[in-house]
Structure 1
Amino acid sequence: MMASPEFRKQLEGYSLATAEILYRMPDHPSLLQSYIWQDYDLCPEFPALRKFLDFWSRTLDGPLFKVTVAHCRLIKPAELKAVGAEFRLH
């Protein structure tokens, strides 16, 4: 059984990146439209997102207005918390 390509990317340091892209409507420039993009990418450079935004700028008519990016590492070191007390029943 082989690991999925997404899992392999996570082991290589990729994290799940989500971008909300606001762009102006080509026919109505005063209106903004929202587009959600999500993929595994390397933080903080985000090469996959930059490649997508370059493609957008070159080929699509709706000019970009604002891009908001969030990311989360899905595979990370275990989080340990100290327990201050222990209670036993029976």
Structure 2
Amino acid sequence: MVSKDFIRQLEGYGLTTANILYRMPDHPHLLQTFIWQEYDLAPRFPVLLEFLDFWQRELAGPLHSVTVSHSRLIRPAEFRAIEGEISLH
């Protein structure tokens, strides 16, 4: 059986990592880090936005900032095979 993550990649999803900084509920002057990772669609990030909506609605720690990395935002140069060759003297 094919994995769910592989099927998502075929649908255009890429691995997304979000570094979420939030304020501690009991000590608002302190920041805590939470790393979130899931397959999502760039540049709209619907899965991440749904998670952040849940965070703001259900969790006590208010968000400070979110830094996003995605395979389409950061990737090595792409190469493609070219058929044929022209020689110039």
The corresponding residue for 1:88 is: none
The letter of the residue matching 1:7 is F
Mapping for residues 59-78 of structure 1, pairs under 5 Å: 59-73=58-72
CA RMSD, Structure 1 to Structure 2 (Å): 1.7
Distance 1:80 1:16 in 2: 22
Identity of counterpart residues, as a percentage?
63
Give, in angstroms, the shift of residue 79 of structure 1.
2.2
Q: Is residue 79 of structure 1 aligned with residue 79 of structure 2?
A: yes
Give, in angstroms, the shift of residue 4 of structure 1.
1.0
* Structure 1: segments with no counterpart, 5+ residues: 82-90
The corresponding residue for 2:85 is: none
Give, in angstroms, the shift of residue 80 of structure 1.
4.6
* Structure 2: segments with no counterpart, 5+ residues: 73-77, 82-89
- Runs of 4+ in structure 1 off by over 2 angstroms are 78-81
CA deviations over 1:15-55 (Å, ceiling 9, x no partner): 00000000000000000000000000000010000000000
Mapping for residues 1-90 of structure 1, pairs under 5 Å: 2-73=1-72, 79-80=79-80
Count of aligned pairs: 77
The letter of the residue matching 2:6 is F
